[in-house]
Every structure is written in C-alpha cells, then in structure tokens.
Amino acid sequence: MKLLLDFLPLILFFGTFKYAEGHAAAAAAFATEHFGFLVSGGQVGPNEAPVLLATLVVMAATLLQALILKLRGKKIDLMLWISLALVVVLGGATVWFHNETFIKWKPSGLYWAMALVFFASQTFFGKNLLQAMLGKELELPAEVWKRLNWAWVAFFLVMGVLNLYVAYNFSTSAWANFKVFGATGLMLIFTLAQGIYMSKYLSDETKDPKP
C-alpha cells in the first residue's frame, strides 16, 4: 500500500501527460474550459495542455498523498514535505505561466534538497540518516555508513544534473519518459549496488538471522 502511495503522483503524472499528448486539441479545450482561470491569459494551447494537466494532477495527487498519511496517523517524511513544497510552488508557476520549464526543475530541486539533507546531517550534526533508517536491521561499521551516506549525496547531485540535461536537450515527452522509467531505473540500480556493497560488511548473524 505504501509503495503504491509513494508512486501514485508519478504514475498519475505520466498517465495524464501521455493521454493528453495523444488528444492534444481536446486536452487544450478541456484545460481552457475548466482551468483557464488558473492560467495567465485564460487560454491553453494544444502544445501546453498535456504538461499543464499533468502538473495539476500531480499537485492534487501529492496533496492527497500527504492528506491520506495524515488521516491514517502516519508520519509524513521529510522527502514528501519537500516534494509537496516544490510541486506547489513550481507546479503553480507552470500552470500560471503555462511554461513547462518550472515543473521540469521539480525533480532536480528534490534531488538536490535530499543531497543537502544527507550532507548537512552528517557534516554539521554528526547524524547519519541512512544509519538512522536502517541501523536497527543492519549492523555495519561506522566508516561504511559514512561511505554509503556520501554515495547518496553524490547520487542525488548527479541525478539533479541529469534531469536538467534531459529537460533542456530533449522533448517534454522524452523527459516524461525519463522521469518515470529512466530515473526510477537508475534509483533501483543504485540501491541494488549499495545492497551488494553492504553485504560485504554484514556479520553472519545479520546475513542469516536465527529464528
């Protein structure tokens, strides 16, 4: 359930964008009629409608995601708060100015914010966030936790740059594909690589816990 909730905004963004892209004229008419009051000038063109509608959907989905967690008494983690703030500010700018550039910056803003959080917590507060999240299940040397933390900082920095490279050098459709499949795939590969690296330092009891 949590995994579905985490990926819900991304799935809805992609689905809305692809459907509207395939029905651009109808999407433009729908967006102008129902959301024209949110757009500067009140008119949405066929080229703007897919990303505008997808942005509105992802804004609503992210707000719904936070609301569901709140109603269920669950903690809203830092990453979701940052994502919510970015999608409201940059998504709102995308809709008002009907300019896709703003929402394309959102993933980079999120990646760099997380890099800053991982960096600052380790450097200024002596707290390793990765160890705080996984330390109860995994017993690793302190130096290994530090390396893993710095690896995440580097990964988030690179992903932020890569997102902007795709955003500015390829079509919006290609960027949407990268956002859903490319970025997610790279995250899975990186997580798997970290798992393999950690396995070298796990004790036998951690690898094969007794019943």
* Phi, psi dihedral angles at 198 (to 5 degrees): -65, -35
Give residue 98's pLDDT band: very low, low, confident or very high (50, 70, 90). confident
Mean pLDDT, the chain, rounded, equals: 89
Q: What is the rounded distance in angstroms from the CA atom of residue 109 to the CA atom of residue 23?
A: 30
Note the pLDDT of residue 3: 59
pLDDT (average), residues 161-189: 96
Contact present, 51 and 16 (Cβ < 8 Å): no
Task: Give the pLDDT of residue 209.
Answer: 46
For 25-42, what is each residue's pLDDT tens digit? 999 999 999 999 999 999
- Two tokens, residue 110: 């999120």
User: pLDDT confidence of 203, banded at 50, 70, 90?
Assistant: low
pTM across the whole model: 0.87
What is the average pLDDT across 132-161? Answer: 89
pLDDT for residue 210 is more than 90: no
CA 127 remoteness from chain centre? 23
Nearest to 120 by CA among 93, 95, 150: 150
State the Cα torsion 170-175-181-187 to the nearest 10°. Answer: 100
Residue 118's pLDDT band (cuts 50, 70, 90): very high
Residue 89 exposure: Cα atoms within 13 Å on the Cβ side: 11
Task: Evaluate if residue 136 carries a pLDDT over 80.
Answer: no
Give burial (CB, 10 Å; 0-12/13-18/19+) of 130.
buried
**Mean pLDDT confidence for 56-79:** 90
* pLDDT (0 to 100) of residue 173: 94
Question: What type of residue is 11?
Answer: I
As a whole number of angstroms, the distance between CA 181 and CA 172 comes to 14
Rg (CA), the chain: 20
pLDDT the model gives residue 115:
95
Number of residues that this document lists for the chain: 211
